[in-house]
Every structure is written in structure tokens, then in C-alpha cells.
Amino acid sequence: MTSKQQDFISSLSKTLTPKKYHTPFSLHYMGLFFSTLILILILNLGLSTRPDLSSLLREGHYLSDIFFLVVLVFSGAFSALYGSIPKPVNILHRLYLVPLLLWVGWNGYHVVTYIQSHAGQDFVIPQAGFCTLKLLLVSILPLSLLVWLVRKGLSPHPKLGAFAAVLSAASLGALAVHLGCPSNDFGHVFLFHFIPILLLAVASSWFARYLINKH
Amino acid sequence: MTARDLGNLDYNHIMAQVLDGDQEAYAVLLDSLYIMLKNRYLKRFNQPALAEDLVQEVLLTFHQAIHTFNPERDFLPWFNAVAKYKMIHYLKKQNKYNSVDIDAPLIEPQLSSPSEEHNILTRYDVDEAIKVLPEKQQELIKLVSYEGHSHQEAADKLGISVSNAKTMFHRALKKLKGEHDI
């Protein structure tokens, strides 16, 4: 070994400090994650909920929307966090497919149903309102938390990690929006609640280098 | 550190000491990993400069990611995952991803004696080795093997034809092989 190589090794070894094993699934971090979720939902319910929410929560289609978004929040967050620790598993990247396929399957089914039920009718572009803006604002806090946790590890797939983290945070934003938005039109819900989730997630993978990858 | 020492290293035991902040144990571990990676990348890529860069990149990443190692798991599979991730990331960054076979099976070092370990490390010390070549051939080796230029780019820089560059490159390698008994 040359002296240059020895210098490199001693420069690394001299900067070693005691390390504590980091897992994003520790009670401490999970507590923080769930507290953030609950805080956002409570704040959102306090600020803006639709007046007919209690009756809607007894309807199957509305409950299934809520369930879908909750599953997206958790599957996205789990993928991002689980994937932030290097593992000797070659199929790790397939984990990220779960929230993506869920989004595609769910929305594909509803879009087809919507088109069939509106066949022959004129297409009216739904009103946007402030739904997407609200979704973005609500997503900031959970996204910051998730990115902070993912960056503590070493994500072997930074683009997919960013995708999953943003998908999870944006789904939480969409959930908050969904509880307050008075529209029952699937066209509006699809365009301004569900589509932004995927668009933001895909866009974030281009910025993964800045968002996730520090190594 | 000798090859025999390397073979007998209990990585999990050493990592336990490293996690406690033991700098001496860490230096021993880094020595061992350095040799292991250097051999692995030399065998895989046969490009000493690339191998050296990769080793340093992987060890730097390892240094920054030690806290993600679970002491209840085996060290080497985790380390290999980090090394593979960093290798792919580095090669992509250098646009060398498609020119090397990253799916080739990993070859663990099989150092039978300390002298063999010494040979592998010094044989590829290209800076010294290429001094036996004429200046233009040295330039060419550096451009192609160090900086990763294609024969066309190297030929353009040296003001010679591509076929001339290729011939010169192979002659240089042949001479190096003869000189250093590779």
C-alpha cells in the first residue's frame, strides 16, 4: 500500500466517532411521523371540513377514497424509509412499485368508470379552486420530515426514494384536501387531488440528487 | 497487514469496536477493505485508475454510512450492498456504466501470501510502471486508462490517427506486460 493510500486511510480513521445504529423505524422516529400525521389532520379538520363530512363518512365511495389515500401515505412512506438503508437485496427497487401500482390501478379503474358513466355527454372542465395549492402547502411538513429521515440513511435508489417520499407526503396533502373540498365530481377529484400526487412524485425524482442523495 | 491477517478478520467483531469509536480497529478494517476492494475492481475492470477512484469513493461512502449498519446482521453483505450502490452511482456519474459489466460475479480476493498482495498493489502502480514507455505512449495510456477517453478522443488530443493510437496503445500494453511480467 502506498503512503498516499495510507494517508487516506488514516485521515478516515482519525475522524471516527462512536456511532449509534440508525433505523428509520425506531419508536422515536415513528412517534414523530405519526404525531405529524395526526397534527396535520387535526389542524385540517379544525380549519376546513365540508359540512356534510359526517354523512359522507358513511358512504362507501367516499370512505374508499380516504382508505386509498391513507394506504398511499403509508406505502409511500414505508418504501422511502425501508429503502433508505442499504440491504443485500437485489429486488429492493420493486418495493417502490407498490404505491405506484396502487395509484395507477385505483385511478385507472375510476377513470374508466367515469368515462363510461359520462359517455355521450359534453365534457366540462372541472373548477380547480385552491385544492392543488392547499395540497402543496399541507405536504410541506410531512415531506420535510420524510426527507430528513431518508437522508439520515443511505438510499441506494435516490430517485425512487424521492418519488416514494413525495408520493406519501402529497397523498397526505390530498387526504387533507379531500376532507375539506365540497366537490363530489370525480373529474375534479382526479384532476386536482389525485393527479398532482403523481406529478409531484415524478417531478421529485428529477431533483432526487438535491432532495435525497447526499453521499 | 498480511493476507493471512485479512483472511482471519472477524468483521462483525471489528465493526462492534468501530461503532464504539475505536480508531485503531477502524484503521485495520479500512486496510482490509481497501485491499479487498482494490483486488475486486482490478479484476473486474482492469483499469488501475478507475479501481483506485472506486475504492476511495466506496470507503468514503462507507465512512459516512457506518451508522446504517445493523450490528445484529452480518457485515459483509451490508458492505457489499453499499459498495455495489456506490460503484453503480460512480460509474453512472462518469458515464462508464455501459462500458463495464457490472453484473459480472463478484470475485472475492484470494490472497494466498503477503507477497501476492504486495504484487497486486504495486504492479498496477501505473505512474511508476509507464515511465519505461516513450513520452507519447505515456500520454496515450494516461488519456485512455486514467481519464477514460476513447481512442478517437485520445488520438485527436495527441494529433495522431485513431488506428495509430490503437496500435500505439497495444504496443504500450505489450511492452508493459513484458517489463513487469504481468
Cell output for A99: 404505491
Q: Which of residues 66-85 of A touch B (CB under 8 A)?
A: 85
* Residue, of A33 and B174, whose pLDDT is higher: A33
Residue pointed to by grid coordinates 485495520: B28
Query: What percent of chain B is modeled with pLDDT above 70?
Result: 71
Could you tell me which chain A residue has the CA closest to the CA of B21?
A18
Q: What is the pLDDT of residue A37?
A: 86
Mean pLDDT of all residues belonging to chain A: 86
Q: What is the pLDDT of residue B114?
A: 44
Could you tell me which chain B residue has the CA closest to the CA of A213?
B89
Q: Is B129 helix (H, G, I), strand (E, B) or coil?
A: helix
Q: What is the pLDDT of residue B120?
A: 44
Rg (CA), chain B: 19
For the stretch B23-63, pLDDT in tens is: 999 998 999 899 899 988 988 888 888 898 999 999 999 99
Cβ–Cβ under 8 Å, residues B38 and B51: yes
Q: Which residues, 6 or more positions from A19, have their beta carbon under 8 angstroms from its beta carbon?
A: B18, B19, B21, B66, B67
Distance (Å) from the C-alpha of residue B57 to the closest C-alpha of chain A? 9
For the stretch B82-139, pLDDT in tens is: 998 888 888 887 765 555 555 554 444 444 444 444 444 444 456 667 777 888 888 8
**Residue B172 reports pLDDT greater than 70:** yes
Q: What is the pLDDT of residue B94?
A: 76
For the stretch A180-195, pLDDT in tens is: 888 888 888 899 999 9
